[in-house]
Amino acid sequence: MGPALIAKKLTLECSHDDFHAVHAALDGARKSAQAVKVPRAALAALLRDHGQMIAAFKDQIGGIT
C-alpha cells in the first residue's frame, strides 16, 4: 500500500463566484480562441489555491513535479 494521506486543512482564496466567473468566461469563448479574458482577481485566487494544493500533496507524498 502507498503512504497514508493525512488530511491537511486548506483555506481556499477563490470564492464560489470567482470560480464560476472563470468558467463562464471559458464557456463563452469560441473554441478557436487563443486567449480568454477572465477577471484578474479570480485567476490570481485560483493560482494561489493551486499552489497550496500542490504544496500539500508534495508534503504528503512527495515526488510531484
What single string gives the DSSP state of each residue in the chain? --PPPPP------S-HHHHHHHHHHHHHS-TT-S-----HHHHHHHHHHHHHHHHHHHHHH----
Furthest-apart CA atoms within the chain: distance in Å:
45
12-42 residue pLDDT tens = 899 999 999 999 999 999 889 999 999 999 9
How do the domains of the chain map onto residue ranges?
39-65
Distance separating alpha carbons of residues 14 and 43, to the nearest angstrom: 8
- Residue 1: which pLDDT band, with cuts at 50, 70 and 90? very low
Do the Cβ atoms of 14 and 46 come closer than 8 Å? yes
Give pTM, 2 decimals.
Answer: 0.70
